[in-house]
Structure 1
Amino acid sequence: MKLASLKNHTRDGQLVVVSRDLRHAASAAHIAPTLQHAIDHWADVLPALQALYAQLNEGKAPGTIAFDAAAAASPLPRAYQWLDGSAYLSHVELVRKARGAAMPQEFLKDPLMYQGSSDYFTGPLDPVLVASEDWGVDLEAEIAVITDDVPMLCTPEEAARHVKLVMILNDTSLRHIIPAELNKGFGFLNGKGVTAFSPVAVTPDELGDAWDGRKLNLPLTVHVNNAKLGSPSAGTDMYFDFPALISHAAKTRPLGAGTVIGSGTVSNHDRSAGFCCISEARAMETVELGEPKTPFFAFGDRVRVEMFDAAGRSIFGAIDQQVLQYAR
């Protein structure tokens, strides 16, 4: 099943069911007005949503409309909680290597994770607004899951059952702001810009064999200004899988329904597939050439993030954004 939130006069959008081919949509407002409402009452609304999805794919859903990703907000336009991990240690290792630092062994024991801003996610085709190119504007292409209520001390085995929806995302990172923030020892704040999720969120069963209950085994493709930056495999080299990330987040507290958990930048030890962020390309250039060559985003640049199934069909729709200067 594929779900989206169309922009309307409210902050949380209108829930719609989207056809498997991403061409059509049908309002689900009579079942659940918003995606957050659906997650809050998942067991109760799931049968009706699945029935509507089946009708839509058969061309029999009432009030069917063309699905326009430009009219979509992120599936959860705002969330009660956004926790972003760094599950691909190949990314951490390369970025640290470029600045002459080894990866600490404790990074192998527990996931890196921070709590990000979740009061405002942008739509998948909305611009990335930043005030200055000097901030070092970068993307981070990731996988994310949405959970229902997760109890404290949830084990990884238990955590797998709490994954209700899967998305892809672009997490804007401001690389020239981040170092000073991290040096304070208190985590990210201004170093992270807006975050955009895919036009649709999908249930794990929709992913077929590509979802093994723990991770998504497909490439994630990134283009910058129509040039391919990379398509590393999201299922390869994910050192901490999603149940591990969820369990880690729930170690000392429960997680509320609608919690969004990100994988961090998808990255492979085999660099031949390219990269899901500019900083990793720059780190590789620094290691091999002595200095980075790939520039961060300039105003007017575009980024596109998308995932395709084995038949080449877009699963989540595309995140397609232009970097623009913010003016008050």
Structure 2
Amino acid sequence: MKLASLKPGRDGKLIVVSKDLKWATSAHHIAPTLQYTLDNWDNVEPILQDLYHALNKKALEHRFVFQPQHCTSPLPRAYQWADGSAYVNHVELVRKARGAEMPKSFWQDPLMYQGMSDKFLDPEQPIEIEDLDWGVDFEAEIAIITDDVPMATKVDDAAQHIKLIMLVNDVSLRNLIPDELAKGFGFFQSKPASAFSPVAITPDELGDIWRENKVHNRLNVHLNQQLFGNPNAGVDMTFDFAQLIHHAAKSRELSAGTIIGSGTVSNQDRQSGSCCIAEKRMLEIIENGKPSTPFMQYGDTVKIEMFDAQDYSIFGAIEQTVVPFQKQKH
């Protein structure tokens, strides 16, 4: 099943989207929003599935052309957004470039931070930046959405709580990160609003691509229409999504609608390119002693998308351009 949220409104209006992303139909009579759906998953999901199957059979009169530009992120705001760093080779590379050893514990215990979730960017919404000296970067990732997860959920029980999967651009301001982390209190100013793919899907939509609680498929990233990277998200993922849920729920319950990210997708095979500028810069530092790839400038556009074996877009695309921040007049 494929779901999306239409503008306007802080929580959007739920629609069901066809498998080929060509058609959509309103689901408002079943569930007004995606958050409502997640809060009432067991009751609502079977009805939405019936609507989805009817839409794919073109058996609905009330359908319309799906237009991603009219979508918000599937959850325009969420109770919780926790981003992991499941590709430990990426972490190791970043530390190696600055001559730092990586603690062995990083291979056994995931890194995770709690990010801004009160307002996400739309999939095609510009990234407003006041100062380019902050070092604007994209991070292409996979994310899952859970239902209610009890505290202390074991890894073996965690997978059943994965209800939906999305793509994410976890925007990072690289030059603000060092000073923030030096304070010993984590990210805040260096992690502005993220954006998610226009469509969220149930795991069964991926077929055998979804196994071991990972998405075994390439994630395509283009910067200014040039391929920047297409690593396989299922390769070199040290911690799968069940392990990330287990980690997040160690000392707390997770409410329905919790989003958990994979962290920047990264392969040890560097021929696959990168899913963020920082990783490419680190490789340049290791090879040449200094970076040569600049961070994003005004007018630069990043596009993040994943395709199936028939070359159809699975989630739709995140496509965002960096623009100068314009203070709103009240």
TM category (shorter chain) comes to over 0.9
Alpha-carbon distance, 1:99 to partner: 0.6
Q: Deviations over 1:291-324 (max 9, x none)?
A: 1011100000000000011221110000011110
- Offset at residue 193 of structure 1 (A): 1.7
Q: How many residue pairs align between the two structures?
A: 327
Equivalence map 1:116-127=2 (5 Å)? 116-127=115-126
Give the gaps of 5 or more residues in structure 1: none
Query: Is residue 17 of structure 1 aligned with residue 16 of structure 2?
Result: yes
Equivalent residue number for residue 187 of structure 1: 186
SS of alignment partner, residue 84 of structure 1: strand
**What is the one-letter code of the residue matched to 1:299?**
Y
Q: Equivalents in 2 of 1:62, 1:39: separation in Å?
A: 27
Question: Which blocks of at least 5 consecutive residues in structure 2 are unaligned?
Answer: none
User: For 1:213 and 1:149, how far apart are their aligned partners in 2?
Assistant: 21
Distance 2:292 2:272 in 1: 18
Give the structure 1 partner of residue 108 of structure 2.
109
Q: Does 1:316 align with 2:299?
A: no
Post-superposition offset of 1:174: 0.1
How far apart in 1 are the matches of 2:282 and 2:60? 50
Q: Distance in 2 between matches of 1:32 and 1:116?
A: 27
Shift of 1:231: 0.3
Runs (4+) off by over 6 Å = none
Q: How does 1:296-311 map to 2 (within 5 A)?
A: 296-311=295-310
- Tell me the distance in 1 between the aligned counterparts of 2:178 and 2:227: 27
Q: What is the SS of the residue equivalent to 2:194? A: strand
Structure 2 matches for 1:1-328, cutoff 5 A? 1-8=1-8, 10-328=9-327
Native 8 Å contact 1:16 1:26 kept in 2:
yes
Letter of the 1:28 partner, please give it.
A
Note the C-alpha offset of 1:62. Answer: 3.3
Q: Deviations over 1:208-263 (max 9, x none)?
A: 00001510000101000011110001000000100000000000111000000000
- Contact 1:141 1:277 (C-alpha < 8 Å) held by counterparts: yes
The answer (yes or no) to whether the contact 2:197–2:315 under 8 Å persists in 1 is yes
Q: Which amino acid aligns with 2:206?
A: L
TM-score w.r.t. length of structure 1:
0.99
Say if 1:130 and 1:323, in contact at 8 Å, map to a contact too.
Answer: yes
TM-superposed deviation, 1:90: 1.0
CA contact (8 A) 1:36 1:76 kept: yes
Identity across matched positions, percent: 59
Structure 1 distance, partners of 2:129, 2:135, is 10
Do 1:142 and 1:265's aligned partners in 2 also have CA atoms closer than 8 Å? Answer: yes
CA distance in 2 between counterparts of 1:103 and 1:213 reads: 26
Helix, strand or coil: the match of 1:232?
Answer: coil
Q: Secondary structure at the match of 2:36?
A: helix
| 1:160–1:213 Cα contact (<8 Å) kept | no
Measure the CA separation in 1 of the matches of 2:161 and 2:280.
Answer: 34
- What's the secondary structure of 1:194's corresponding residue? coil
For residues 139-190 of structure 1, what are the alpha-carbon distances to aligned partners after superposition, in whole Å with 9 as ceiling and x for unaligned?
Answer: 0000000000000110111000000000001010000001100000000000
How big is the shift at 1:103? 1.0
Give the SS at the match of 2:91. Answer: helix
- The answer (yes or no) to whether the contact 2:212–2:240 under 8 Å persists in 1 is no
- Tell me which amino acid in the other structure corresponds to 1:33: P
